[in-house]
Copies of this chain bind each other. A is one copy, B any other.
Amino acid sequence: MRKIGLKEVEDIALGASLLGAGGGGDPYYGKLMAIGAIKERGPVDLIDPEEVPDDAVIMPIAMMGAPTVLCEKGTGGNEYKVIYDIVSQYMGRKVYAVMPMEAGGVNSMLPIAAAARLGLPMVDCDGMGRAFPELQMVTFTIGGVSATPMALTDEKGNSAIFNTITNKWTEELARAVTMSCGGSVTVSLYIMDGATMKAFGVKNIVTRSEMLGQAIRNVKNHPDMTPEAAFLYASEGYGIFKGKIADVLRETNGAFNLGRVVLDGIGDWRGQRAEVCFQNENLAVTVNGEIRATVPDLICMVDTETFIPVTTEALKYGKRVMVVGLKCYEMWRSERGLELVCPRYFGVDTDYIPIETRVKEGLGNV
């Protein structure tokens, strides 16, 4: 157990927004909520998964919907209490701790805000090790865990609990309510006991985010490496492309941020062209029409000078970015993992080939 205060929040937000792979929302907005809660209620206890009793009730906290909507619509502040009350009443037991469900600018931060406001510890574990756009896309689904009972509330005070026959149905019904509530809501799902969390969770992801954040902050201070080399070393990332944003096409459809971005190469990549498509998160990157990486591996864009991650909302014409690929959590590469998050599920017409294989097949680092 250790304390998460304001400094830790800064690093976690930065690192998690890299793991957000373009999605997961604006880390600035998420950070404000965590910082506001910690300033009011004090630091949060981050507990190691192994410290959690097997029968403890763990309440994941997340926002559902289009992150662009959340940034405009905001939250009301009372959502955590509403969710806590619903979950406690429904389970008939006290909640032991909160937990994030995904890494990303917003969903790594809301659980910290919730933990601070509810006076509960947060577990150093999540269900993705990155961000994904649909709620059944968590390692707990691979483990056969039900998303329901799922609690949902909006900033106005409307709430719902769902019980569904499959996690795909949870997505369907909760998504419909999310849209009716204006496009973003606060949810708790995959409410589980400690034993389940330990068996299927992506452990120590908060600590990993924090270390990534620290590394990004310090890329320019490395004694022996260029900032870029230091960044790729610390993130264990594969450099895929460097370019200037030439075009961004967007639509907000079915509560998702959809679109693609076109990059004109710079530096060694001058004269070449890359394209990244996204559904909240980046789905695939092609260079000169050839696929270089796809989901479930992480495709991230970072500023070429500061190495700060650029979310899909922040993409704009003229910005210079490096496209970086990171290996996804091993469980996503299993057959059951790929059933949930293979490229074709997202409309990307290719088999999944691990990023390290795609890189070996003819593409060095940037």
A136 to chain B, nearest CB (A): 14
Q: Are A169 and B163 in touch, CB under 8 angstroms?
A: no
Q: Which of A89, A169, A173 has the most CB of B within 10 A?
A: A173
**Does A161 sit within 8 A of B, measured CB to CB?**
yes
- Residues in B whose Cβ lies below 8 Å from that of A180: 172-173, 175-176
Q: Is the CB of B160 within 8 A of A160?
A: yes
Taking the complex as formed, is A156 at the interface, i.e. its CB lies under 8 A from any CB of chain B? yes
Q: Which residues in window 118-169 of A have CB below 8 A to B?
A: 156-165, 169
Q: Is the CB of B160 within 8 A of A162?
A: yes
Q: Report the separation of the CA atoms of residues A158 and B165 in the bound assembly, to the nearest whole angstrom.
A: 6
Whether A6 is near chain B, meaning CB under 8 Å from some CB there, is no
Identify A163's interface contact among B158, B173, B177, CB under 8 A: B158
| A65 smallest CB distance to B (angstroms) | 13
Binary flags per residue of A246-271, CB closer than 8 Å to B gives 1, else 0: 00000000000000000000000000
Report Cα–Cα, A163/B156, bound state, in Å.
11
A308 within 8 A of B: no
Instruction: Tell me if A181 counts as interface (CB < 8 A to partner B).
Output: yes
How far, in angstroms, from A169 to B154 measured CA to CA in the complex? 11
Q: How far is the CB of A165 from chain B (nearest CB, A)?
A: 5
Contacts of A177 in B (CB 8 A): 173, 176-177
A161 to B173, CA, bound (A): 12
- A179 on the interface (CB 8 Å rule)? yes
Q: Which residue of B lies closest to A82 (CB)?
A: B163
Shortest Cβ distance from residue A159 to the other chain B in the assembled complex, whole angstroms: 5
Q: With A176-B180, A179-B176, A180-B176 given, is the CB distance from A161 to B164 under 8 Å?
A: no
- Complex interface: chain B residues within 8 A of A179 (CB): 176
Q: In the complex, what residues of B have CB within 8 A of residue A163's CB?
A: 86, 158-160
Q: How far is the CA of A274 from the CA of B347 in the complex (A)?
A: 52
Q: Is the CB of B173 within 8 A of A165?
A: no
- Residues of chain B within 8 A (CB-CB) of A181 are 173
A164–B164 CA distance with the chains assembled, in angstroms: 20
Expressed in whole angstroms, the minimum distance between the Cβ of A143 and any Cβ of chain B is 21
Minimal beta-carbon separation of A155 from chain B (angstroms): 11
* Residues of B with C-beta under 8 A to A86: 163
CB pair B165–A162 under 8 Å, yes or no, is no
Q: What's the minimum C-beta distance from A166 to chain B, rounded to whole angstroms?
A: 9
Interface flags, A157-200, vs B, CB<8A=1, else 0: 11111111100010011011101110000000000000000000
CA distance A89 to B89 in the complex (A): 9
**Do A161 and B158 touch (CB < 8 A)?**
no
Report if A156-B161 is in contact (Cβ < 8 Å); known contacts: A180-B176, A181-B173.
no
Residue of B nearest to A181 (CB): B173
Give the B-binding residues of A (Cβ under 8 A). Answer: 86, 89-90, 156-165, 169, 172-173, 175-177, 179-181
Give the 9 A-B residue pairs with the shortest CB-CB distance, closest first.
A176-B176, A176-B180, A158-B164, A157-B165, A159-B163, A161-B161, A160-B162, A172-B180, A158-B169
11 sample A-B contacts, Cβ–Cβ < 8 Å, listed by A number: A86-B163, A156-B165, A158-B164, A158-B169, A159-B162, A159-B163, A160-B162, A160-B173, A173-B177, A173-B180, A176-B177
